[in-house]
Every structure is written in structure tokens, then in C-alpha cells.
A and B are shown apart, each in its own frame.
Chain A
Amino acid sequence: MSTALSFATAPGEDGATVLTATGEIDMSNASEFRAALDGALSADGHGPVVVDLTGVGYIDSAGLAVLFPHLERVRLIAGELLFPVLTVVGLDDVTTLRT
């Protein structure tokens, strides 16, 4: 059984697609995360995709690896809990901290 994780896709305020993840992302469910992100990216064509990680309590390098190939289109929203990890891996410039 993989770790609990759910997704929701919705159009954002500035026309971007928003992918909201809830749960924890680790190597057991990183593929689900990749599928969800690929879905969001293809649905929108070439526009930016915002990944909202505010509801994610944990993300490890397997989850982060899903994000790296798409950085030209992906923007992140994260809470205080995840922000230090994203900073460490150099994603802070594409991340908006939501407090």
C-alpha cells in the first residue's frame, strides 16, 4: 500500500493550471505524483502549472525529482514545513511561501 496522497486540478487566478496535492510524497507514490503533474502539464498545453504543496506534509527526493524536468513551466506553493527542503534543493526561486 502506497502512502496516502490525493490530487485536485483546477484553473488558477492568472489562467495557470493549479495542481493541488494533499498527503505525503515519497518513493512509494512518486509515480502517482508524476502522472498527476504530466496530466496537468498536457491539459494546459504550454501555460504555466502551479503545484500547490501546502497540503503535503512530506516530500523526499523521489517526489522532488518529478518536478525538476519541468521547471520552465512549474511554479510551486509550499507551507513553512516544506519550504526549508525546497530551499536546500534550489527550488526556492520558483516557490511561493504561503504562511
Chain B
Amino acid sequence: MTRGDFEAMSKASAAEVFAGGGEVGHDLAAVRWESTPLGSPDQWPQSLRTAVSILLSSRFPMWMAWGPQLTFFCNAAYRRDTLGRKYPWALGRPASDVWAEIWPDIGPRIETVLSTGQATWDEALLLFLERSGYVEETYHTFSYSPLRDDDGSTVGMLCVVSEETDRVIGERRMATLRDLGSDPSAIRTEQQMLSFAAAQLRRNLRDLPFTLTYLFDGDGTRLAASTGTDGEIARAWPAEAVSRGESELVALTSDDGEGPLPTGDWPEPPAQALLVPLLQQGGSPYGFMVAGLNRYRALDDGYRGFVELAAGHVAAGIASARSYEAQQRRAEELAELDRAKTAFFSNISHEFRTPLTLIMGPVEDLIDRWGGADAGVRAELEVIQRNALRLGKLVNTLLDFSRIEAGRMQARYEPVDLAAATAELASVFQSAVERAGLSFEVDAPPLPRPVHVDRAMWEKVILNLLSNALKFTFSGGVRVAVRAEGDTAVVTVADTGVGVPEQEMPRLFERFHRIENAQSRSNEGSGIGLALVKELVEQHGGTIGAESALGRGTTFTIRLPFGTGHLPADALVPAGSAATVSATADPYVQEALRWLPGGETPAPAQPVRTERSRLLVADDNADMRDYLTRLLRAAGHAVRTVADGQAALEAARAHHPDLIVSDVMMPRLDGLQLVAALRADPRTAGTPVLLLSARAGQESSIEGLEAGADDYLVKPFSSAELLARVRANVELARLRNHHARWRTALIDSLQEAFFVCDQDGTVIEINSTFTDILGYGPEGLPYAPVHPWWPDEASDPDGHRLVTDAFAQLVEESHGSYTIPVKHRDGHRLWAAASFNQVEDPDTGRRVIVGTFRDVTAEHYAVQRESALAALSVRLSQAESLPGALHGVLEELRDLWKANEVYAAVFAGGVPVVTAVDTALRWEGLPEHLREALRAVREKPLLTPVAERPGGAGIALEHPDGTMALWVELAEKRPFTEQDRTLLALLAGHLGQGLQRIHQIDLQRETALALQRAILGPAQLPNGFAVRYAPATRPLKVGGDWYDTVTLADGRIGIVVGDCVGHGLQAATVMGQLRSACRALLLQNTDAAQTLTALDNFAAQLPGATCATVFCGILDPDTGDLTYSSAGHPPAVVAHPDGTTDLLDQGRSRPLGVHTPAGRPEAHYTVPSRATLLLYTDGLVERRRQPLTTGIERVAAAVQRGRGSSLEELATEVMAGMAPETGYDDDVALLLYRQPGPLELEFEAESTRLAPVRSALRGWLARAGIDTTTAQNVLVAAGEACANAIEHGHRHGPAGRIRLRAAATADYLRLTVADSGRWKTPQPGANPHRGRGLSLMRALMTEVTVTTGAAGTVVGLQARIPR
């Protein structure tokens, strides 16, 4: 056979094997089989041929492996579904090459098949194939089964496979979308919604390795949710396309230095992310979602669609959450409005109670008195009565609301036969319904268990519903039914009335909501009845619903749970007496009757009103109780029953029956003891008692009556007799107790809390307002001291002390009032203002205390705020400087809060400046926690109290230098309440303004003072003068006072002190002009009187200058001669060295500008040697409630005392000594002169200068009036000092200068000789006679000092002047 034949045969043979394989068969045939272990197809065993044939003919995806290398075959279906780009390369290759990437997964399986001959089965196995140019996530369900050789040995395997990638991924994505849509709660907040969505997305980390949800937020974006990562993934996501509503694909690289990417469920992180917008219907997108894409799947339409749908879910969720939040806000606003409305009405309602009481009482009286006389009058009165009843009913309903909302509704849930109770209530309406021509059906078979209800509330529920039914029903009827359904009792009230339109149903139970245009028997109605019913039913833990059809009627269904688990345990009470319909029903029925035709005047023959008496029957015999109850009810009385005397006593205290019918023989407390106990208690002392006894005989009757019983009936008795006695006693008691009932009604209608105490302070009676304010009701009476509303001694010692003091006042004094802190039963604190009186009980003669109080909590805190503000203002106004003000205010704050310390730190850049009350620490010295607290406060907005840390509170405010942080360090455990915060903010606001104001005043004051000083007085005074000026201290202000000295051409000196009228800059300006004028005139005139006369003319033309006072003098300093004239100015003072005083009170005339007919006078005076002349303005001496002369005497004495001081010292002493404690309240100018002025010489250090210096000194000593001997001593001592200065001080250098100064006081001469040299220590050995100079000085002078310094030597000489 030729090679060509062989090949042809092979081909023929191969073609045969692969026939029917279509394209795959064709490609298989093209494989070079010869180079495989299988060899040429025509050599293949039959088994292989068969297997290949089966494979190729199957339309189910299959592949197979044969032979030692497991050579790969597959069919067309497999090629299509799975093989991808590996076709046709894979054909004929070893299977381990073909599926190299998954060989670790499938190799062992194939091995198992080959070795055991057992087939394998795998379902939806995840395999990462690389058949499309990338590693791809795929799922396959497959079975490997063994292929056997012709001889039966296993040589290969066949894989039947179905690729399920699309199904698995599709289902996975569907699950995610389904979960996203499965939010069980319909509505959530945006954040909850996002969290929920994130939780769902997080469950699919294969399709969504990570997601980031960004929301557009103002100008930026904010990350609102994320999955697959803990937070932000730091990439700059391009938001441009998504903000236009378009998706954008972003390539991700993990090596760009921005941190690793989360990988989701995969080993490698996503290579791409898809940004999809969160679209908003009809608006720009809410934001966008970044979806990290599964790198093992291509982003095909399915994948993209999935991501967009997921984002769509989130967007829809945001839309609904936002719209829900908006609705929620609206609903809350509406609810708030409702509450405000209720609060308003209930406040008003309270005010109605007193006038209503005062209408109802007299109307009833009038009906009793006049009703019989005139039907017309009666009808009118009944109109009043009915409307008052209606108003009362409305008021009570509103008060019920406010009680419920304040949590003050004190319910008492007792087990009740609900069917019977409801039927009885319904029966009240029977006649009204029937009179309306309607049928009335009550279907109330007994329930298996009692239901716990508060009887009063239940009455209101049923009566409201019945009244409602009657109002809206015109034909058909009303049906009341009671049933048990499982764990609930169901009560339905159904009518066949006009029904409620469907759109109104949701608002049926809303307060103040009325259905407009509904046909009804009356247009009256407030729209709160059904709302109250709903509240009351909910108080019982029940529900109420309504069904209605327009024109067919309405059915209300109430469901109340059996049992007590749903009710507060402390509100449960044991079963009370038999059900009775209370007086509450009256207004309902009365109102309903009036809607009915002919109902305008209810039949007078059967008045339904208050004839019904409330009786309490006490008997231990049940049969007797039943009999009495039947008998008395039949007669129209309301009956409550108890089984013994103790129960009767409690019931009497709680319910105040009109009459007690009691058996004498009873357990626990017998009838006589009951009567005694009732009479002993002021609350029940007036309750009539009818005793029933089997014991006949006069004695027992007397015994009973003596015990205080009102009547006595011996068994057996006829029913008629019993009823007659009951009626008589009730009537009698009514008459007798009329005022008592009035008292009760009035006291209960009081706006103020009312209480009665016995002598030791035990509270024995209270009214309803008392209970409203304090939360303590009459059931707890008597309240013995210490009363439960006292503040706790341990936690509130101050409050406790206040109350203790007030209590002492209460029990000891005959009347008084006090304001105290008290504690409401629920623990909140309030302030009560009480006033009380001691009165004598007219019956018992005992002293009792009657008091009332108001809740003044709001006022108390307002007063506290006001007084704190006032105190703060005082501190601020008293302060003379910014630091002073701050310190004062801190002290005030500390006292106000009884704080340990109050700190203020001003942050003005640099180290904060700290102020505190007692502590004098700088910032660095403060403990770290305080610095931290102050820094934290400073960071907060201004004027916003910060009380986040325990032990203190702070606030930031504006200080003129910067932000100031204030920190109040509270005493231990002192809480910082809401009121404290308000107060702190208020005070801080005022403080900030106050500090600012003081700062401004400071600035103004400094400016004014600088101005005043600038225009005041000569800069250089002549010798011998001292001057002072002081502005008024408080309020600190400058004025118009001045002093002046003018040296005239002839050496004389003009001296002027003046005082312009007024204060402030205006006066200072006038002063400046007067002063200048006076100066110029003096230089011209050299005559005091002429100068003043000329000044008169000037002042007449200068506004504000008239009436200024001026003292003007011309002094010859050589002789002390003074000519002077005074224009209305206080006299100058001259203090002589011998202690006597002269007043220069001559030469006086009127103030400037005031007409002076005779011309101004002039006087002459000679100032003696060493006498001191004082000129001053009245501010120095004028004091309130003191004559001017007293002040002048005081200042003269002051100058006298200081005659030994130097002039400057004296000026200071006088200013300080004369100042009032609080400073000058007027400005003061002062001028001092002492004759002669000091001698001041300066000369060259030459011995030839000694003689002229001596001569000058000799002349001055003569002017100073010094005796010859003393003068000579001084001359020698001074001469020695000068000689020393010449000789020692300047021997080594050019001649310096020597200064000699001599001054006199009354008793002393003081001289100084100063040079610029340095004295030598005397050395008598070297130059024996020179040392004598110093000894000579010491011998001649009282005191000699030699001070040698760097600048030279100063010799001080002092000599006492002998008298």
C-alpha cells in the first residue's frame, strides 16, 4: 500500500468515524491523530469509534477524553456553550492541556472516574475558564462517566455537561433585585433606607464587589452608603456624566498609589467600575452609585442593566424616604398645632369652671323656686341650664384631654361585667332614641370574663358614641352589641344614619375635625367627642375603628383586651360596687333630647336632674344588700354597696355619698363605730347615716342617735317606710349640706390649690387643683408631715430648709404667706406661692389652718432672672474699670449659682487673660481640665450655654479685647437645668453689652481727662506753688474747675482759682476760654478787682460762663503782700506757722457776669513767713447736708496739720484727706502757696561764688522769718557744704556746677547742696582742719545727710526753727 493509499484510506476511515459530526466532525477529521497516542482513526478500537460517534451525534454538550493522555474530543453543542476560543485548537490535545486552568478542579474527578469506574455528578460548579480572552466566571453542571475499551477496561471518560453560567448569574442578580425591593417596612428615613439597600447589595459581592452611594449635597457630594468596603475608596470619581443622568465606565488600577481596592468575593479586585446616576423623576439625580465590576464577567447588557436596576431601586427608595420625611414633618407640624389648640382650649376651659359653677347652682335654685309658678320662666331657665350643662360637658372633655396629655388622668381600672355595664349605659339613651322614632337594640349577653375598665371613662366612651349615633340617624335605628372574640371584648355601636364619606374616614378621629355638610340633628359640636373616645379607648389598651357607608350608616367597633397585662399595675383596683350610671350621663341625654322634635321642654313631671341621690348601702348580708339595692334603685337612687363598716368608711371618704344606709351589726367595723369614725373625720362629718338594726327598743335607738346617726330604723321595716326615711334624710341633708356642697363645688372650681391642715400640719382636705399641681390626690389623705412633696433633704438641702422654715411658720403663726420649692409626685420640681390663715372650726372649736397656693414656677424663674439681671446691672454700673466690672460680675455669678468658682478667660491672641473671683491664677497656672473646659467653651457659638461636662457650665461672649469664655464651676452634684441655661445665656448677653459699654466709657473718660489736663494750668509753676486737679469720681467726669498762676512783669504773681458751672466737656471748654481770658487780663491790669470786672464783660458774651466763681489775687513773693478779689468764690485759707488760721473773706462780690452795681472790691493781706495759702474750688469742701463753713473749717484744719510737710506732700494729703469715702462727687481744683517760695541757686564751683550765694541765702532766710542765730548756723553749715563741693567735688576736673535749694515749712528749714563730684572720706591726719567742715555742719544742724552717688554728692541739711 502506498503512502497515498494509506492516507486516502485513513481519511476515508477518519471520515467514517467523524461522519455526522458536522463542522466539528470535519475539524476532528483534520486533526493529525497519528501524532497522538490514539494513532490513526482507522486503527481505533470499536469502543472508541462508538464513543466518538455517540458524542458527535448528541445535541447535548459533551466532551470526552480517551487514552493515556486523555485526548480531548467534543461535540458541536459543547463547542458552542463552553469551549469558546479554544476551538478547534483543543481537539486531539491532552485534556489536561485543554483545561489547564481548571485542572486542579476537574483532574481529581477524572482520576476518580478512571480508577473506580464510578461516575461523578457536579451541579453548577464554579469554574474559571479562559475561553474568551479573560478569566471568566462560569458554572457547569456535569457528570463524568467512564468509557471502556473493547476489553472492558476503563480508558477514558465522557463528560456530559450543561453550562449554567447564565442561569446562576441571572438568578443571583434577580435575588439581589428582589431583596432590594423587599423592604418589609414601607417607609423609612433616608439613612435607614440606604442602610437597608446596602445590606442587600452586600449579599452579592460577586456582581458587586463594592458599591459606593454618593448623594449630591449642596455644592458637593457626600458618601451616604457603601458595601464591600468600610468607607470611602479614595478615587476621584468623575461626577460630571452622572450628574447629567448618564452612566460612565471608569477603569480602575490598583497600583496608582491610592490604596488597595476591595476584592469582593473574588481573589482579584475589580478592573472597572460603573458609575450610575440615582435618577430623580423630573429632577436632577439625587447622586450616583459607583459599582465595582466583577472582573470575571464582561460588562454586557445584562450586567449593565442589573447595575442600573439596583441603582434605580436605591433612587426610588431615596425618593420615597424623602417624601415620607416631608410628610412626617407635615404631620408633626399638624400634631403640634393640635396640641397647641388643645392646650389653649383647656386653659380657657379651666377658667370657665368657676363661672359655670356659679351659673348652674343659682339656675337650679331658680328652677326649684320659680319653675312651678310660670311655665315660661321655667322653659327659659331650662334653656340656660341645658346650655350650661353643654358647656360644662365641653369643658370637662377638654380638661380630660389635657389630663391625658399631661399624664394626669388618674384612671382606676376595675374588673367590670362589660356587657351589663354597657347595657346599663345604653339604657340611659333608650327613651331618647325611641322618642326620635328610631329602634334601639341592645344585644349584650354576659361575657365569659370581666373586663378592666375605668367606669367614668367607659361612660364617656359609650355616651359619646350613642349621642353621635342619635345625632346623625334619622331613620332605622341604633344597635349596641357586646361580644367576646378570643382575648378581646368587642363592643359595637352601629347606626343606620347618614354615614361618613369615604374621604373623611381617615380623619374621623382627629381632634376638632368636623365633617362638613353632613346632615345632622344639630349643628352644634366641637369635633372632639370622637377624638376623646379614641384617647379613652387607647388608655384602656384597646382600639376603636369605624366602618361607614354613605347613606347606610356607621358602625364603631371597640376592642378591649381581657386581663390586666396591658394596664399599669398601680392603676388597678378591685371590683367596686355595682354599676351605676353617674351624673355624667345627664348632660349627654339632656343634649340629645333637645335635638328631638318636642324635646325643647322635657316633661317636667319626670325631671331627670339631680333628684337621683347617691346612696351607700353597707350590710354584710348579701340578700339584704340585694334587697336594699333593688328597692332603692327602683326609687331612682344611685346605689353603691359594701359589705362591712370599714369598706363603708373608705367608700364614704372617696365618694361622698348623699346618705349612708348601714346595718348596725357588721364585721370589722360595726354601724356605731362607723358613725363615730365618720363624725371624727371632717370630710365625712356631715354625711347623714341611717342605721338599720334588728335590735328594737328605745335604748338601742338612743345609743345609735347618740353615736351621731341621723336616723334609726328597726328591722323588719316596710319598704315604704325605708324609702320615706331615705327621702326625708336625703332632703334634710340636702338642706343642711347645701352650703357644704356649695363649698365643695366652689373649692373644686378654684384656680388655686386649696388645703386644710390640722394643728400639727397634717393636710386633711384638698381640692382638685391641688391634685393637678402636685399630683397628690384625695385618696392619699391625710398627708402627715413631712409631706411627700417636700424636697429631698439630701439632694436639695436649700429647698428642704426653705420648706422647713415655711412649715414652722404655717403651724406657729396665725397667718402668713411663703414661696417654696416643692416636688411633684412625678418628681419634677416646681415653685408654689402659698398663703394661709388659722381659723377655728365652729363645730369642734379646733384650730385648723386653711391655705391656698399657686404654681409660680414660671414667675419664680422670671423673678430669679430679673433679680439676677438687676444685680448684674448694679455691678456693671458700679464698676470703674473693665477688670473691676468683670470681677464684680463673676462674684455675682458665683453667688447666684453658689458656685465654687467662676472663671473668665479672654482670648485676645497670645495667652488668654484669666479672671476669677478668689483665685489669682494665670492661664498657665490653671489646672488642665479648666483650660480644656474654657477652650471648649470658646469654640462654641457665642451666647450658647455649654453644660456638657459634669461639674460646670460655660458660655462664650464678646469681650472688648476678644472672645471671652466663662466657666461656672458648680458645687458637687448641682445640676444645671434648662432654667439655668436660659439664665446664663441672658446674663452673658447683658454682660457682653455691659463690658462693651464700660469699655467705651473708659475711652471717653480718658479722652476727656487728657483734654482737661491739656487746658489746665501752666506747665511750669513759679517757686513755692503746688496745684492739684481731680475729676469727679462717680460717675467719673471732668468739670469746669481751674487754677492758674501768671508771673507778671514786675515779678509779682497773679494767682487764680475758678469754677465754671456744670460738668463734662462743655464746662471744660468754657473753663479753658475763661482761664485764657483771665490770664490775658491779668497781664494787662495787674489789679485783681479790675481783672475780674473785665472778666465779667468777657463772661457775659461766652455762653455757659455766667455764674462762674473766681478767686483772683496778685502776690508779691518777696513780701508776701497779696491783693485779692473774689467773684462769689469760697474764701482762701491761710495757715500760720503758729497754728492759727486766717480766712481771706474780704473783697467779695457776686459771681462772674452777675450785675455788680458798686464795682468789684479788693482786699489786702500779707502772707506771713512760712504761712501756707490755700485756694480751692467748692468740690473740696462742699458736702451734702453740711454747711459750707464746716467744710472750710475741716480744710483749714487739714492745712494746719500739714504745715510741717513739704508743699507737694501737703497738696497730696489735703486731696486725700478731704475726699469722701466714695470719692469726690464734684471736680476739685486746689492751689497752695507757702511764703517764701523755696530758694533755688545754681552756681559755678568757684570759691569766689561763695559770698554772693551767702548773701542770697541770707536774704531768703530773712524773708522766711528766721532768727539771726539760726540763720547764721544755716549760713555756716551751707557755706561748709558749698566749700566742700568746691574743694572736693571738683578738684580734679573743670569747675562743675553746684545747686543749692532751701525750703521752709512752719517748723523746719531744709537745704540741699548738690554737686557732680564725689566726696572723699574725711582724713583728719592728712589735713586736720578740713574734717572740721562736716563736724561743723553736724554741730550746727538738726540733721545732716551726705549721699554720694554716681551723679554726684548731695548734702542734706535740716534745721529746726525755734519758736
Contacts and interface: CB of A to CB of B under 8 A. Distances in A.
Interface stretch (B288-296, B383-391, B861-869, B1333-1341): B1333-1341
Contact of A60 (B1273, B1283, B1328): B1283
A65 B1287 CA distance: 15
Interface stretch (B184-192, B397-405, B459-467, B1243-1251): B1243-1251
B1360 to A, nearest CB: 15
Given A28-B1251, A61-B1330, A85 B1340 contact: yes
A32 B1330 CA distance: 18
B766 interface: no
Contacts of B1339: 88-89
B178 to A, nearest CB: 128
Interface in B1258-1290: 1268-1269, 1272-1273, 1275-1276, 1279-1280, 1283, 1286-1287
Nearest to B1337: A61
A62 B1282 CA distance: 12
Given A26-B1283, A64-B1329, A89-B1336, A1 B1248 contact: yes
B1332 interface: yes
Nearest to A62: B1283
Interface string A40-60: 000000000000000000111
Contacts of A81: 1268, 1272
Contacts of B1329: 61-62, 64-65, 68
Interface in A57-96: 58-62, 64-65, 68, 80-82, 84-85, 88-89
B635 to A, nearest CB: 138
A88 B1272 CA distance: 13
Contact of A4 (B1251, B1273, B1287, B1330): B1251
Interface string B1318-1356: 000000000011101100100110000000000000000
Contacts of A65: 1329-1330, 1332
A86 B78 CA distance: 153
A61 B1250 contact: no
Nearest to B1251: A3
B1254 interface: yes
B1280 A88 contact: no
Sorting the interface of chain A by its residue count into under 10, 10 to 19, 20 to 34 or 35 or more gives 20 to 34
With most chain B CB atoms within 10 A of its CB, the pick from A3, A27, A68, A81 is A27
A88 B1283 contact: no
A4 B1340 CA distance: 25
B1247 A85 contact: no
Contacts of B1279: 26, 58, 60
Contacts of A59: 1276
Interface string A12-56: 000000000000101110000000000000000000000000000
B1336 A85 contact: yes
Interface string B1286-1299: 11000000000000
Nearest to B1271: A81
Contact of A26 (B1247, B1268, B1330, B1332): B1247
Contacts of A26: 1247, 1250-1251, 1254, 1279, 1283
Given A84-B1269, A85-B1276, A27 B1283 contact: yes
A2 to B, nearest CB: 6
A82 to B, nearest CB: 8
A24 B1275 CA distance: 12
A84 B1272 CA distance: 9
Nearest to B1246: A28
B1274 to A, nearest CB: 12
Interface string B1232-1252: 000000000000000110110
Contacts of A82: 1272
A79 B1243 CA distance: 30
Contact of B1280 (A1, A2, A4, A60): A60
Nearest to A30: B1247
A58 B1250 CA distance: 11
A61 B1254 contact: no
A13 B486 CA distance: 164
A1 B716 CA distance: 158
A84 B1275 CA distance: 12
A62 to B, nearest CB: 7
A3 B1248 CA distance: 7
Contacts of B1275: 58
A88 B1250 contact: no
B1276 A60 contact: yes
A89 B1268 CA distance: 19
B1272 A27 contact: no
A58 B1276 contact: yes
A67 to B, nearest CB: 9
Nearest to A1: B1248
A64 B1287 contact: no
Contacts of A3: 1248, 1250-1251
A61 to B, nearest CB: 5
A8 to B, nearest CB: 21
A85 B1251 contact: no
Contacts of B1328: 68
Contacts of A1: 1248
Contact of B1248 (A24, A28, A68): A28
Contact of A61 (B1269, B1273, B1283): B1283
Contacts of A64: 1329, 1332
A84 B1273 contact: yes
Contacts of B1286: 27
With most chain A CB atoms within 10 A of its CB, the pick from B1273, B1275, B1328 is B1275
Contacts of A27: 1247, 1250, 1283, 1286-1287
A88 B1269 CA distance: 13
Contacts of B1272: 58, 81-82, 84-85
B1336 A88 contact: yes
Given A58-B1276, A60-B1280, A28 B1247 contact: yes
A80 B1251 CA distance: 20
Nearest to B1287: A27
A24 B1251 contact: yes
A28 B1336 contact: no
Contact of A24 (B1254, B1280, B1332, B1336): B1254
Interface in B839-857: none
B1280 A61 contact: yes
B1268 A61 contact: no
Contacts of A88: 1336, 1339-1340
B1106 to A, nearest CB: 59
A63 to B, nearest CB: 10
Nearest to A85: B1276
A40 B1280 CA distance: 27
B1359 to A, nearest CB: 13
A52 to B, nearest CB: 18
A82 B1286 CA distance: 23
A4 B1280 CA distance: 18
Interface string B1171-1199: 00000000000000000000000000000
A9 B631 CA distance: 165
Listed from nearest, the 4 A-B pairs whose CB atoms lie closest are A65-B1329, A28-B1247, A3-B1251, A88-B1339
20 contacts: A2-B1247, A26-B1254, A26-B1283, A28-B1250, A28-B1251, A58-B1254, A58-B1276, A60-B1333, A61-B1280, A61-B1283, A61-B1336, A62-B1283, A62-B1329, A64-B1332, A80-B1268, A80-B1269, A84-B1269, A85-B1272, A85-B1336, A89-B1339
Given A26-B1250, A28-B1251, 7 more contacts: A27-B1287, A58-B1276, A61-B1330, A61-B1336, A65-B1329, A65-B1330, A65-B1332
Interface of A: 1-4, 24, 26-28, 58-62, 64-65, 68, 80-82, 84-85, 88-89
Interface of B: 1247-1248, 1250-1251, 1254, 1268-1269, 1272-1273, 1275-1276, 1279-1280, 1283, 1286-1287, 1328-1330, 1332-1333, 1336, 1339-1340
